[in-house]
């Protein structure tokens, strides 16, 4: 079932953290309808800090997970992996990797770690420009685009 179809239901969609194929299989076996590939956890696992994680590593993790699981997978895309001019690549790569939805934060690039005091946020107009740029590209054939903040 697609994430969009799951979200049409009356109950909220519970998507546990899924960092690898084994965790995806466990989530599926436990009956969860979706999975969430968290940037912070993936960053700590792969490169010791979320700020050092990149789009390619997230997409590779999704490919590994999607090879063994049919759960819709939600991507924590940090700040979209670039400024508004570059964010459209995030959409294309995430669709190719099989993500069902993307969560994008409004923090400034380069990425600031969550635990830093005084997190700076993107000006709403800059964030909107990035989102409009991502949405203006053609979606993958048969694909839906779901963004979240």
Residue 89, pLDDT above cutoff 80: yes
pLDDT for 6-20, tens place per residue? 999 999 999 999 999
75-92 core/surface letters (b: 16 or more CB in 10 A; e: else)? bbbbbbbbebeebbbbbe
Domains of the chain: 14-148 (3.20.20.60)
Q: How many residues would you count in the chain?
A: 149
Cα–Cα distance between 86 and 71 in angstroms, integer? 28
| pLDDT classification of 61: cutoffs 50, 70, 90 | very high
Q: What is the pLDDT of residue 28?
A: 97
On the question of pLDDT at 143 being above 60, the answer is: no
């Amino acid at each position: 079932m697609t994430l969009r179809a799951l979200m049409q239901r009356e109950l909220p969609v519970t998507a546990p953290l899924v960092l690898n194929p084994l965790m995806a299989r466990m989530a599926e076996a436990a009956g969860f309808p979706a999975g969430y590939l968290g940037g912070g956890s993936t960053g700590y696992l792969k490169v010791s800090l979320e700020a050092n994680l990149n789009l390619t590593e997230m997409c590779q993790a999704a490919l590994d997970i999607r090879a063994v699981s049919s759960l819709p997978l939600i991507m924590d895309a940090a700040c979209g992996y670039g400024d508004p001019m570059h964010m459209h690549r995030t959409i294309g790569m995430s669709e190719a990797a099989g993500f069902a939805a993307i969560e994008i934060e409004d923090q400034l690039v380069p990425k600031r770690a969550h635990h830093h005091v005084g997190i700076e946020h993107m000006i709403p107009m800059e964030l909107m420009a990035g989102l409009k740029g991502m949405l203006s590209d053609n979606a993958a054939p048969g694909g839906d685009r779901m963004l979240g903040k």
